[in-house]
Amino acid sequence: MSNKLAIDGGEPVRDTRLPYGRQSISDEDIEAVSEVLRSDWLTTGPKVSEFERSFAQFVGVSEAVAVSNGTAALHAAMYALEIGPGDEVIVPPITFAASANCVVYQGGMPVFADIDPGTLLLDPERVEDGITPRTKAIVSVDYAGQACDYDALSAIAQSHGLALVDDACHAVGGSYKGRRVGSLADLNTFSFHPVKHITTGEGGAIATDDPKLAERMRVFRNHGITTDHRQREQIGSWFYEMVDLGYNYRLTDIQCALGISQLRKLPAWVERRQEIARTYDVAFADIPAVQPLAVRADVSHAYHLYVVQLDLDRLCVDRAQIFAALRAEGIGVNVHYIPVHMHPFYRKRFGTGPGLCPVAEAAYERIITLPIFSHMGTQDVDDTVAAMRKVVGVYLR
Ligand SMILES: *Cc1c(COP(=O)(O)O)cnc(C)c1O
């Protein structure tokens, strides 16, 4: 194959675009969903509690609360912790905006703490720096699927009397020092969007060992009403009370049936993602200017994303050009994420902007996300490596 880049009119590595992530749906999944469609309960029926029990058991906690998406899970967590006006919550900048938006929904203020340049995870020292008398909680994000340093974060939270919330949307199936992600913080939030490890179409959950917080979130997801339709049906009563302002953040039985079926496959899917990551790690070890994110020895990485940092000093083009060239080769690369504090909304509302988190801002210029998903084939992995080798080879300084 010629090394003329597809972006310059050469032949692409592949003809069809490989996505960076994709769901995997089997006949069993479809059958599980069909069964619910033929049943009496389409929503808030037996499948919701079954999914909650299975999920809680999988991550190793006593309670899981299923909600309509990962953002609702974060909102419910902030509500349960009674975050409100005047309160500050520490969040990392390299994450999906929802990790910080949830604080704003409740009238609180997100305070951005910078990250470690190797792992791109929240730096405990920067967390300490961000604490004020108004700080109520820390939201840690297990970016790309690697658990944060929970011994350090828990110690900080404990010594300052703060709640610790793990936005674990990237890390289901991962672990830290042998403990499953989902059991590492006071509240642990998940998303079941199709690009995540397991899907319910849209969906989310909060895992916790605190029954009081779980109960608050169950009321919150149902308009602030203390009983649900099925419970009233069972006791033959029409009476209910709305005790607080909640939302309709419920997940349907149709979705939960899909979630139960998908959850069974999660361990094998995480293993496959780890296997793909190992192949990438080995291949990129001898491609100059391409550095996979650092992985600590005390974690089992769930690899929602496979992210590399480009050594721009060794390249004669920027990340945007590498991105465009890889896309032209048929590799559906992406960038995760634009630092949240750089978005126009945050600049306008909270006066954030360049210079606030220099490590995150510098990392943002260099990161690129490569395809990784459970049923990605060997050829797909080889194509990604070949395209990376080809593109970086041409642009090497
Ligand atoms: C996906 C994701 C969310 C939001 O989940 P939705 O289900 O899309 O609402 C929040 N935080 C992180 C880190 C995510 O990756």
For 161-171, what is each residue's pLDDT tens digit?
A: 999 999 999 99
What gap in Å lies between CA 259 and CA 208, rounded to an integer? 18
Checking if the pLDDT of 266 tops 70, the result is: yes
Please say if the pLDDT value at position 98 is more than 90: yes
Q: Residue 181: how many CA atoms within 13 Å on its side-chain side? A: 32
Query: Ligand 1 pocket test: which of 71, 141, 172 has the largest number of ligand atoms within 8 Å of its C-beta?
Result: 71
Confidence of residue 263 (pLDDT cuts 50, 70, 90): very high
What's CA 394's distance to the chain center, in Å? 34
The predicted pLDDT at position 228 comes to 78
Ligand 1 shell residues, CB under 6 Å: 69-71, 95-96, 98-99, 141, 167, 169-170, 191, 193, 204
Give the list of residues 6+ apart from residue 168 with CB closer than 8 angstroms, or none. 142, 181, 182, 184, 188, 189, 190, 207
Ligand 1 atom 5, closest CA:
70
Query: What whole-number distance in Å separates Cα of residue 129 and Cα of residue 59?
Result: 31
Ligand 1: distance of its center to the CA of 74 in Å? 9
Q: Does the pLDDT of residue 118 top 90, yes or no?
A: yes
**Interval 187-191 mean pLDDT:** 99
Position 347 pLDDT exceeds 80: yes
Residues 6+ apart with CB under 8 A from 260: 32, 47, 50, 51, 54
User: Does residue 229 surpass a pLDDT of 90?
Assistant: no
Q: In this structure, are residues 317 and 374 in contact, taking their beta carbons and an 8 Å threshold?
A: no
64 DSSP β-pair partners: 207
- Select which of 47, 136, 196, 390 is catalytic: 196
What is the distance between the terminal CA atoms of the chain, rounded to a whole angstrom?
22
Q: Report the pLDDT averaged over residues 350-361.
A: 98
Cβ–Cβ contacts within 10 Å for residue 298, how many? 13
Residue 1 has pLDDT above 70, yes or no: no
Residues of the chain with pLDDT > 90, as a percent, come to 95
**Is residue 65 very low, low, confident or very high in pLDDT (cuts 50, 70, 90)?**
very high
196 is catalytic: yes
Band of the pLDDT at 337, cuts 50, 70, 90? Answer: very high
CB 137 within 8 A of CB 81: yes
Say how far residue 123 (Cα) sits from the centre of its chain: 18
What pLDDT score was predicted for residue 383?
A: 98
Report the chain's mean pLDDT, rounded to a whole number: 97
Tell me the CA–centroid distance for residue 342 and ligand 1, in Å. Answer: 18
Contact 124, 131 (CB under 8 A): no
CA dist list (Å): 282 to 18, 165, 276: 21, 34, 10
Residue 85 identity (one-letter amino acid): P
For the cut 80, the answer to whether the pLDDT of residue 232 exceeds it is no
**Does 276 have pLDDT greater than 70?**
yes
In this structure, are residues 340 and 346 in contact, taking their beta carbons and an 8 Å threshold? Answer: yes
In the numeric block, the tokens 């940092």 are attached to 309
How far CA 26 is from CA of 39, 67, 227, 258, in Å, comes to 21, 23, 35, 10
pLDDT value, residue 270: 98
Beta-carbon contacts of residue 40 (< 8 Å; ≥ 6 apart): none
Residue 387 pLDDT greater than 90, yes or no: yes
- In testing the pocket of ligand 1, which one of 191, 307, 334 has its CB within 8 Å of the most ligand atoms? 191
Which atom of ligand 1 is nearest to 99's Cα?
11
